[in-house]
Amino acid sequence: MRRLPLPPDYDLAGTIGGIQVIHHDPTVRTGGREAWFATRTPDGPGTLHLTRDGDTLDAVAYGPGADWLLDRADAVAGLRDDLSGFADVAARHETIRQLARRRAGFRLPMTGRVFHHVVPAVLGQKVTGKEAYRSYRRLLRHFAEPAPGPAPETLCLPPDPDRIAATPYWVFHPFGVERKRTDAMLRAAVHAAALERADSAADATKRLMSLPGIGIWTAAEVVRVSHGDADAVSVGDYHLKNVVAWNLVGEPRADDQRMLELLEPFRPHRGRVCQLLMTGGMGAPRYGPRLSVRSFAHF
């Protein structure tokens, strides 16, 4: 067990919840005073249990990967997140300043795992959140492995990249995943070992984007969690560009170029600003019908 000192107003649920590339990710479980995270470490499967006790965080781990997870417990809990200079950056816009004050306890987690987050990120490409969640749950159910230790019954491990790589496309189709996303996931599974060797967010981004089917949006979604990249912007996101423009300058619609222009003053915390806006900012006005939910399983 490790006991980790906490900064004032630390937000355990919000921070660990940030690990979820797809909402309600079954590899993560958060509550008011405790959180669970199951993953595959270099030493094998492991489960990390974090429990808040006043101004400290108790970390306990289970499984073959227990020692690895305990060594990184502070990183997973966002306690290695570098907030240097963020107060000055946030002060450049009143909305960001207020969000930073309101969510002062939010930290960016740093799991140190890449392929774990590649799967939900690829499943989230160009589809609604409901579609991505539905496919992810079906995929995890197929490759089901319970999390080690006395974890909640619904907590499970992410898929083993070797098993993913050895699985033909037609197995994924009933999960609602078409050929393009499946091929991207299979390529990432084949190169999973190389992806895990990335020693920085920039290195991980380069390795990810060298794989066909993985672009800047997917890479940003991954490295923001795997390496705690506070500057990673999910260019190409369906909603983000409009949320940024609406909150910063009152423009209901924007393209990615306009979004990047508006975010430029917030370097090197552009990704952190995006996270604050997406979780606490005002949603942009909606015009016209929403993106429809499809089922590739029946195509």
What one-character DSSP code corresponds to residue 265?
G
Please say whether the beta carbons of 118 and 195 come within 8 A: yes
pLDDT number for residue 52: 95
Q: What is the mean pLDDT of residues 262-276?
A: 97
pLDDT tier for residue 174 given thresholds of 50, 70 and 90: very high
CA dist list (Å): 123 to 24, 130, 181, 235, 279: 14, 11, 7, 16, 21
- Does any domain span residue 12? yes
**Residues near 189 by Cβ (< 8 Å), separated by ≥ 6?**
115, 161, 162, 164, 165
Whether 291 has a pLDDT exceeding 70, the answer reads no
Instruction: Tell me if 168 is assigned to some domain.
Output: yes
In this structure, the answer to whether residues 128 and 215 fall within a common structural domain is yes
- Co-location of 245 and 215 in the same domain: no
pLDDT of the residue at 289: 53
Please give the pLDDT value at position 129: 85
Confidence (pTM): 0.92
Quick one: pLDDT at residue 221?
Answer: 97
Distance CA 159, CA 140 (A): 7
pLDDT over 80 at 254, yes or no: yes
Query: What is residue 153's three-state secondary structure?
Result: coil
**pLDDT, average across residues 165-187:** 95
For residue 283, pLDDT over 90 is answered with no
Note the pLDDT tens digit of each residue in 79-129.
999 999 999 999 999 999 999 999 999 999 999 999 999 999 999 998 888
DSSP state, residue 120: H
In terms of residue numbers, what domain contains 130? 115-223
The verdict on 45 and 140 lying in the same domain is no
- Do 60 and 120 lie in one domain? The reply is no
The alpha-helical segments, DSSP class H, found in the chain are 12-17, 66-71, 73-76, 86-90, 94-102, 115-123, 129-142, 161-165, 169-172, 179-190, 192-196, 201-209, 216-226, 240-249, 256-263, 270-280
Query: Do 219 and 244 belong to one domain?
Result: no
First-last CA distance in the chain: 50
Beta-bridge mates of residue 44: 41
Residue 296 has a pLDDT of 52
Q: Are residues 132 and 174 in the same domain?
A: yes
Please indicate, yes or no, whether residues 177 and 246 belong to a single structural domain of this protein: no
With a pLDDT cut of 70, the percent of the chain lying above it is 96
User: Total domain count for the chain?
Assistant: 3
Determine the pLDDT at residue 123.
95
Q: Is residue 95 part of a domain?
A: no
130/80 same-domain check: no
- Alpha carbons 20 and 31: distance in angstroms, whole number: 14
pLDDT for the residue 109? 97
Structure tokens at 154: 């619904």
pLDDT for the residue numbered 292: 52
Tokens representing 262 are: 């508006």
Does 260 score more than 90 pLDDT?
yes
Closest CA to 155 of 39, 242, 53: 39
Quick one: pLDDT at residue 57? 97
| Residue 15 maps to a domain | yes
Rg value, the chain, Cα: 19
Mean pLDDT of 239-250: 96
Residues 214, 117 contacting (CB under 8 angstroms): no
Rounded to the nearest integer, the mean pLDDT of the chain is 94
Summarize pLDDT for 6-52 with one digit per residue, the tens: 998 999 999 999 999 888 899 999 988 999 999 999 999 999 999 99
Residues 206 and 120 in one domain: yes
Predicted local distance difference test score (pLDDT) of residue 23: 86
Shared domain check, 146 and 197: yes
Beta bridge partners of 28: 37
> Quick one: average pLDDT of 238-266?
96
Point out the domain boundary residue: 34, 68, 86.
86
Residue 66 maps to a domain: yes
If asked whether residues 203 and 137 sit together in one domain, one would say yes
Q: Is residue 81 part of a domain?
A: yes
Q: pLDDT at position 297, please?
A: 55
- Predicted pLDDT at 32: 81
